[in-house]
């Protein structure tokens, strides 16, 4: 019998970078060409042997890292060739300014990639050095305008709350980015993660009040320039939200391939190994962890992820998925958070307030079942 295929999103992890940024704890390695070739072979083996992929239509694909633009385009070609992308409407590649070239931009365009994400982080050359970035503003500026010539949809990553960053420095970052008109801006608050150069170091970080001012002022400046916030850290001009990331935040199915990649499919969560050599040797045995989520787990995740969004958690979608009203499950918690001005409720949804976004971890912890 003819079966209509369901939609799916695909994430591909490229765990390579030329150098490691001092704040970064993403799974990435500084490897040689031979190891990159071995990795891509294993990645393609993993993809080609995946049984469930064939049951789905790929709608979005995201090549993340690490730094996918760091590896030769022949590898990207090989990876893309593993997929049927005829139904895909958003194909993103993460890049950084020093590894992106005109040749790569033309190649990405020719091979159906239609969204480029560039890690600028800050426009201040001194701060860039201090976080161990290898580009300066001039390098970024030059390649950005080349990319803009060929790509309509470009994201820029910025980090705020960097060591030694002042409000003035940060305003310059925001104004600069707004002026060059990308379609999307990701604005991350610096997190000091374990296993990074910054961890345990004495850093001159902005105090909490300044850090929050950076965030709220940025939201205001961006709004004036028609960049709408749709998630805690993400802003876009109308209709240019990242469709791939929206899949994560609305608890839809996705498959992840490569080192440490996660998948969420039919209420099961899988995580691939983070051990490079184990993955290279046998990518088909690479699943480290499989968790079948209970209904309670699914409800918790649905709410945490939904609360990251400016539209919040839709009551209708909650009911559709769980066959019970969100107010029946979380009556006490919703009332408490409303009283604390962390959450607002309307007919259609529950949404974090401005204060709620600042206290997002606390707010989300209220939705965990005992
Ligand atoms: C997976 S990283 C890829 C970055 C890309 N390879 C590059 O070199 O620009 C995606 C983004 O996460 C953000 N990020 C990474 N670590 C972070 C941290 N500790 N705190 C805040 N943002 C972080 C950065 O903005 C970064 O561009």
Fold of 297-370: Arc Repressor Mutant, subunit A (1.10.10)
Map out the domains of the chain as residue ranges. 6-247, 297-370
pTM for the whole structure: 0.95
pLDDT score at 240 = 98
List residues near ligand 1 (CB under 6 A).
23-24, 26, 64-67, 94, 96, 119, 121, 157, 159, 188, 190-191, 193
The answer to whether domain 6-247 and domain 297-370 are alike in fold is: no
Atom of ligand 1 nearest to the CA of 158: 25
* 3-state DSSP assignment of residue 207: coil
Q: What are phi and psi of 87, to 5 degrees?
A: -100, 5
6-247 to CATH, choices 3.60.40.10, 3.20.20.450, 3.90.930.12, 3.20.20.70 = 3.20.20.70
Atom of ligand 1 nearest to the CA of 21: 8
Q: Which residues of the chain are modeled with pLDDT < 50?
A: none
C-alpha triplet 107, 63, 96: angle, nearest 5°: 70
- Give the burial class of 221: count Cβ atoms within 10 A of its Cβ; 0-12 exposed, 13-18 middle, 19 or more buried: middle
* H-helix or E-strand spanning residue 91: strand 90-95
Which protein residue's CA is at the shortest distance from atom 27 of ligand 1? 119
pLDDT score at 79 = 98
Atom of ligand 1 nearest to the CA of 68: 6
Q: Are strands 184-189 and 153-160 parallel, antiparallel or unpaired?
A: parallel
Q: Are 171 and 211 in contact (CB under 8 A)?
A: no
* Among the listed residues 228, 249, 247, 195, the one whose alpha carbon sits nearest the alpha carbon of residue 59: 247
Q: Are 249 and 308 in contact (CB under 8 A)?
A: yes
């Amino acid at each position: 019998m003819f079966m209509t295929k369901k939609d799916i999103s695909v994430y591909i992890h490229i765990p390579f970078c030329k150098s490691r940024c001092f704040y970064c704890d993403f799974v990435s390695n500084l490897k040689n060409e031979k190891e990159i070739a071995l990795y891509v072979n294993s990645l393609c083996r993993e993809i080609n042997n995946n049984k469930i992929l064939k049951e789905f239509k790929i709608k979005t694909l995201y090549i993340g890292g690490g730094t996918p633009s760091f590896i030769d385009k022949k590898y990207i070609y090989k990876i893309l060739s593993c997929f049927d992308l005829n139904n895909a409407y958003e194909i993103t590649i993460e890049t950084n300014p020093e590894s992106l070239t005109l040749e790569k931009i033309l190649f990405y365009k020719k091979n159906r990639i239609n969204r480029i994400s560039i890690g600028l982080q800050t426009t201040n050359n001194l701060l860039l050095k201090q976080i161990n970035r290898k580009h300066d503003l001039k390098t970024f500026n030059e390649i950005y305008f080349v990319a803009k010539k060929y790509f309509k949809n470009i994201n820029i990553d910025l980090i705020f709350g960097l060591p030694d960053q002042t409000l003035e420095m940060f305003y310059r970052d925001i104004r600069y980015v707004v002026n060059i008109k990308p379609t999307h801006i990701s604005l991350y608050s610096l997190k000091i993660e374990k296993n990074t150069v910054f961890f345990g170091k004495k850093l001159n970080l902005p105090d909490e009040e300044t850090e929050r001012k950076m965030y709220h002022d940025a939201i205001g400046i961006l709004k004036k320039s028609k960049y709408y916030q749709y998630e805690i850290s993400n802003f876009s001009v109308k209709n240019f939200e990242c469709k791939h990331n929206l899949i994560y935040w609305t608890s839809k199915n996705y498959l992840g391939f490569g080192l440490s990649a996660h998948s969420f499919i039919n209420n099961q969560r899988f995580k691939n190994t983070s051990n490079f050599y184990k993955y290279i040797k046998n990518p088909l045995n690479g699943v480290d962890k499989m968790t079948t989520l209970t209904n309670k787990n699914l409800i918790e995740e649905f709410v945490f992820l939904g609360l990251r969004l400016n539209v919040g958690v839709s009551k209708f979608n909650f009911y559709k998925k769980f066959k019970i009203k969100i107010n029946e499950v979380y009556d006490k918690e919703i009332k408490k958070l409303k009283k604390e001005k962390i959450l607002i409720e309307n007919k259609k949804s529950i949404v974090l307030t401005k204060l709620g976004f600042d206290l997002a971890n606390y707010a989300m912890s209220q939705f965990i079942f005992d």
